[in-house]
Amino acid sequence: MSKPVVAIVGRPNVGKSTIFNRIVGERVAIVEDMPGVTRDRIYSRGEWLNREFNLIDTGGIELGDEPLLIQMRAQAELAIKEADVIIFIVNGREGITAADQEVSKILFRSDKPVVLGVNKIDNPEMHEELYEFYSLGMDTPYPISGSHGLGLGDLLDAVINHFPEEQEDPYDEDTIRISLIGRPNVGKSSIVNAMLGEERVIVSNIPGTTRDAIDTPFSRDDQDYVLIDTAGMRKRGKVYEATEKYSVLRSLKAIERSNVVLVVINAEEGLIEQDKKIAGYAHEAGRAVIIVVNKWDAIEKDDKTMKNFETKLREELLFLTYAPILFVSALKKQRLQHVLPMVLKVSQNHSLRVPTNVLNDMIMDAVAMNPTPTDKGKRLKINYVTQVAVEPPTFVFFVNEPELMHFSYERFLENRLRATFEFEGTPIKIFARKKNV
């Protein structure tokens, strides 16, 4: 099921991004080093007391040339709509400002729980500065220091106390959950309708027509599926339609609930940066991925068009080399019959478990073909391998020195796993662990 969403809100220069980075720690950089991934640090995963959540730094959401107050109001309203809990950050050294009061009014009118963090309280002598902030009407102000990491434990304790109760999954575990993600107006709803053969969701050329994530259960060839059509932007107006970063939020929620993610791209517009970011979240979440290029009927083609388009996609999405690409037209219902068979295939690959003896035989052959690397006279020795998880397939290599497992050799091992077993459409995770003597 989807994880709770926590949003960090506050006026500029109160330390929102510092606190965001403190909470998510090193997780924020997991995908950044991979070629082909261009993403900001607005959204990431956090964890506290074994409770995982998605964290939003609204301060990183820029709204073009809009005046600052309009931006702040938009960011606060965004948090109210999308978050389960809101962290409201103020600057303890500067006291309450008019901008703080403006944000607090917006948050106060919401039904969402708000936890107030008073930042830049670096030592106990400064705690008397807290009393002023009770006037914001937000219950207990928590003294914190983002730069020193002080007080965040108490703040996060309060945050997770407000998390909604985990709901039971309404669908059978054998049901394949498919989410369609992508920018507004790439044709997600049209694909849903074309696949189902009926008008189940509203289709319009206006970006943001879909207001909520719509679940559509159905069966095909004795297999149960659920289509999750991610919502568009709810709020009309220049501020909201000026940026497409908001569509990522709903995509995140749908991804969390999915087994298979269809990343839908508009063939007429080609791949843009926002598509990469949305695809990056599906990859980081470890879901099976299929790239669906919609509106292919609108493209003038020769015998090289599809190949050239695919080559460019592969160059731009280097982190999704495992994802199959389908070219479809929801409008003309072209090649949509290939979508569900591919969904079934990648879902099976996503949950594939390889017997340990078969796995180790394969790795021995791979090492014989390409010996392990050495560093300063020491050679990496792989003692044995085991698969510890599925969805996605996750492998632990027990070795003599984990630091000798270079990225390039890890990539070689992943390629051998993919060449030997059927892993199309699914990411693979590899970890090196020191063998206990």
Q: What does each of the 437 residues of the chain score in pLDDT, given as a tens digit?
A: 668 889 898 888 888 888 988 888 754 433 344 444 434 456 778 899 989 898 888 765 555 566 766 766 776 777 677 789 999 999 998 999 888 888 888 888 888 999 999 999 887 777 777 889 998 888 889 999 988 888 999 999 999 999 988 767 778 889 999 998 887 778 887 888 777 776 555 444 444 434 445 678 888 888 999 888 665 433 444 444 444 555 566 677 788 889 999 999 999 988 887 788 888 889 988 999 999 999 999 999 888 999 999 999 999 999 999 999 999 999 898 999 999 999 999 999 999 999 999 999 999 999 999 999 998 889 999 999 999 999 999 999 999 999 999 999 999 999 999 999 989 999 999 999 997 75
Region for 114 from its dihedrals, namely left if φ exceeds 0, alpha if ψ lies in -120 to 50, beta otherwise: beta
CATH number at 70 reads 3.40.50.300
Query: Helices in 207-338 by DSSP H: which ranges?
Result: 238-241, 246-256, 273-284, 305-316
Q: Is 237 annotated as a binding residue?
A: no
Task: Identify whether residues 102 and 224 lie together within a single domain.
Answer: no
Q: Is 189 annotated as a binding residue?
A: yes
**The predicted structure's pLDDT at residue 131:** 86
User: Is 266 domain-assigned?
Assistant: yes
User: Is 377 domain-assigned?
Assistant: yes
Q: Is 61 annotated as a binding residue?
A: yes
Tell me, what DSSP letter sits at residue 319? G
Residues 99, 37: Cα–Cα separation, whole Å: 35
Q: What are phi and psi of 72, to 5 degrees?
A: -60, -45
Q: What is the pTM of this model?
A: 0.74
Domain-terminating residue out of 106, 126, 161 = 161
User: Is 153 domain-assigned?
Assistant: yes
The answer for residues whose C-beta is within 8 angstroms of residue 410's C-beta and 6 or more apart is 430, 432
User: Is 170 domain-assigned?
Assistant: no
**The predicted structure's pLDDT at residue 56:** 83
Going from the C-alpha of 197 to that of each of 290, 352, 355, 376, the distances in angstroms are 21, 31, 40, 63
CATH number at 428 reads 3.30.300.20
Retrieve residue 258's tokens. 């999915």
Q: Are 262 and 278 in contact (CB under 8 A)?
A: no
Residue ranges making up the domain that contains 73: 5-161
Q: How many helices (H) and strands (E) does the chain have?
A: 12, 17
Residue type, 217: P
Task: Identify whether residues 227 and 245 lie together within a single domain.
Answer: yes
User: Is 80 domain-assigned?
Assistant: yes
Task: Identify whether residues 363 and 254 lie together within a single domain.
Answer: no
Q: Is 230 annotated as a binding residue?
A: yes
How many domains are contained in the chain? Answer: 3
Task: Identify whether residues 345 and 362 lie together within a single domain.
Answer: no
User: Is 45 domain-assigned?
Assistant: yes
Q: Is 277 annotated as a binding residue?
A: no
Task: Identify whether residues 218 and 322 lie together within a single domain.
Answer: yes
Please identify which residue in the block is written with the tokens 């994880």.
3
Task: Identify whether residues 74 and 206 lie together within a single domain.
Answer: no
Q: Is 182 annotated as a binding residue?
A: yes
Q: Is 17 annotated as a binding residue?
A: yes
User: Is 171 domain-assigned?
Assistant: no
Domain-terminating residue out of 107, 129, 161 = 161
**The predicted structure's pLDDT at residue 324:** 97
Q: Is 119 annotated as a binding residue?
A: yes
User: Is 386 domain-assigned?
Assistant: yes
